[in-house]
Amino acid sequence: MLTLESKIFWQSTEEVARELLGKYLCRESQEGLVYGKIIETEAYLSEDDPACHSSRGITRRNTNMFGPPGKAYIYFIYGKYFCFNVVTGAEGTGEAVLVRAVEPIVGLDIMKQRRGSNLGRYHLASGPGKLCQAFAIDKSLDGHDLLEKPLYLADNSIEDDRMRIIATPRIGISAAQDKLLRFIVSGSKYLSRR
């Protein structure tokens, strides 16, 4: 496992969203190490994208979205859940990639405990709220540098998997539903939806 190189973040947001597929999300804590493979992402843009939190300017919630790329943007939603984003674009731009689903690889017992019920592996991190529970991601990590412990992105240079990536409309939004900005590893059993 190698920590990602920071240059990965200096591409367009759509490219980063594609690039993150197949990479690893790692979380260290007192309970132990947990990680999994990212298999579903969504891009949120600053131009012509009313579904993006930054579309109406900078607010208390989205401040970190306007910060430098490679940091976390984490927010609370629906009274219960957190969503985890990777900030993209130069400082002041206001773009990000939402990580929607992860294939659990290591630490499944810890994830089950955090999720609070006896769930099978396909349901541990198959959605933005679920993966934040499984990885113990909350507001305290908002703005965290994603090349540093305890929450970081990594690559596995040994692995050679050919994945087919397809683009679909984003999930759960009411604006800009026509844009194909959701990227998934086709055929994965760990997606939030097909």
Partner DNA sequence: GTTAAGATCTGCT
Partner DNA sequence: GCAGATCTTAACG
Q: Counting contacts by CB under 7 A, is residue 98 touching DNA?
A: yes
Estimate the share of the chain in helix, then strand, then coil, as percent rounded to the nearest 5.
20, 30, 45
Q: Which of residues 165-184 bind DNA (CB under 7 A)?
A: 170-174
**SS3 state at 15:** helix
One of 85, 88, 93, 188 touching DNA (CB under 7 A): 85
Backbone angles phi, psi at 99, to 5 degrees: -90, 115
CB under 7 A: which stretch of 21-29, 122-130, 149-157, 158-166 binds DNA? 122-130
Query: CA-based angle 21:163:168, to the nearest 5?
Result: 65
4-34 burial: b if 16+ Cβ within 10 Å, else e: beeebbeeebbebbbbbbbbbbbbeeeeeeb
Q: Counting contacts by CB under 7 A, is residue 80 touching DNA?
A: yes
By C-beta, is 129 or 143 nearer to DNA? 129
Q: Counting contacts by CB under 7 A, is residue 147 touching DNA?
A: no
Site string for DNA, 30-59 (x = CB under 7 A): ------------x-x------xxxx-xx-x
CB under 7 A: which stretch of 7-15, 104-112, 120-128, 143-151 binds DNA? 120-128
CB under 7 A: which stretch of 8-16, 20-28, 30-38, 70-78 binds DNA? 70-78
By C-beta, is 170 or 179 nearer to DNA? 170
**SS3 state at 141:** helix
Q: Tell me the one-letter amino acid at 101.
A: A
Q: Counting contacts by CB under 7 A, is residue 137 touching DNA?
A: no
The dihedral over CA atoms of 77, 138, 42, 66, expressed in degrees to the nearest 10, equals 90
Contact present, 94 and 63 (Cβ < 8 Å): no
By C-beta, is 140 or 157 nearer to DNA? 140
Tell me how far, at minimum, the Cβ of 33 lies from DNA, in Å. 22
Whole-angstrom Cα distance, residue 194 to residue 186? 8
What are the residues binding DNA (CB under 7 A)? Answer: 42, 44, 51-54, 56-57, 59-62, 65, 73, 75-81, 83, 85, 96, 98, 100, 115, 117, 123, 127-131, 139, 170-174, 192
